[in-house]
Amino acid sequence: MRPGAYGMAVAVAVVSGLVAIVCALHLGLPLRDPDGFLGPTYVRLPLIVALMLAADVLPRAVARARSARGLVDQLVLVSRERWPWRRLLPALLGLVAFYATYVSYRNLKHFLPLLRTDIVDDELVESDLWLTGGTAPAEYLHDLLGTGATAHVLSWVYLAFLIFVPASIALALVSRNRSREASWYVTALCINWSLGTASYYLLPSKGPVYAQPELFWDLPETGTSSLQHSLLVSRWLVLQDPQGTERIQSIAAFASLHVSIIFTAALIAQLTLRSVAVRTVLWGFFGLTAISTIYFGWHYVVDDVAGLAIGGIAVLLAAWGTGNVRTADVPEPEPDGEPGESEVGSPVDGPRRLSPARPRRRPETTPSAS
């Protein structure tokens, strides 16, 4: 891996951490590690990476071992072969940068209603009505898709994001011969978190489900509706007594990071992976997630549009910061007249590869009459 491949990710993590620390000191509140249903982040992420490493090493060690006693020796040998320090260190650095940025993001989101008391939901509601001709976008989707089984399916899709992010990070970091793409993806996610945090403070808002709850009363109880209620209770407790509660405030509408992050994953996959099936699944996941954000009232239409912009910017900045910007190099002529090498391949073919360049044929000429 190129030295400093995670330099931009580390820089984003450091800046995000410093901003979170300054805000915490200003408010007199501690920084907290956000717990999820899979446990604290500092446990969840390393555990997933450890499981992915085990999936890479264990089958090979078992295949080589001739006895149970020799399995331990093979585990050590395969681990050293597959994961030398020069490969393991960048992966761990990327994981730490992602974790630090994410924790900073969650804390800054927690501080949002304490630092920005003005909210702009009324203006965003008006923008939705203007874009859709006077009817709320969620109402259109409820009428079009129904409010029965569709609600449960879209709820599963929306909540899958909570598993997708750490699992995709782990898969990217442990994939062999994909170190450049891994640094690109991890860095892009760090940029997503930081730009998303800035967007929360730019237009502080709660989302349609909290601004117009009556639009969503007909939806059945799902995992998403339970999450929405839990987040509302947490926000109320934080606003009532920020010093006395351990709950974390996690409500913010503009912009949609569900949209931005899954768009980032699908776009980088489109540019680096050969598998049509994986790319198709990711784009499908992206589309259904965008629909679910409107369907359940998490976001306004402009939130999703802003999420697309953040995701695209993150991919471009991370490509530049990790050396994944591809340029068309013109091969220099070889001194001995042998054909040189040139880069070929399209973004959807995955990483570019070297292949012989065809020598140019010199056009035939006829003697001049003069």
Q: In 3D, which of 112, 133, 345 has the Cα closest to residue 250?
A: 112
Q: Are 170 and 241 in contact (CB under 8 A)?
A: no
What's the pLDDT tens digit per position in 218-242? 999 999 999 999 999 999 999 999 9
Tokens at 109, concatenated: 């989101």
Q: In 3D, which of 304, 295, 209 has the Cα closest to residue 261?
A: 304
Tokens 């331990």, residue located: 72
More confident residue, 327 or 184: 184
What's the pLDDT tens digit per position in 32-47? 888 655 566 677 767 7
Which residues, in sequence order, are bridge partners of residue 35? 40
Model confidence band, residue 331 (pLDDT cutoffs 50, 70, 90): very low
What's the pLDDT tens digit per position in 258-314? 999 999 999 999 999 999 999 999 999 999 999 999 999 999 999 999 999 999 999
What's the pLDDT tens digit per position in 99-137? 999 999 999 999 999 999 999 999 999 999 999 999 999
In degrees and rounded to multiples of 5, residue 40 shows phi and psi of -60, 150
Q: In 3D, which of 232, 226, 224, 227 has the Cα closest to residue 292?
A: 224
Does the pLDDT of residue 67 top 50, yes or no?
yes
Whole-number Å distance between alpha carbons of 276 and 279: 5
The pLDDT of residue 166? 87
Whole-number Å distance between alpha carbons of 352 and 142: 45
Region of 99 (left: φ > 0; alpha: ψ -120 to 50; beta: rest) is alpha
Q: Are 142 and 214 in contact (CB under 8 A)?
A: no
Q: Are 249 and 113 in contact (CB under 8 A)?
A: yes
> What is the model's pTM?
0.83
Tokens at 261, concatenated: 């992050």
The pLDDT of residue 125? 96
**Cis peptide before 172, with omega less than 30 degrees from 0?**
no
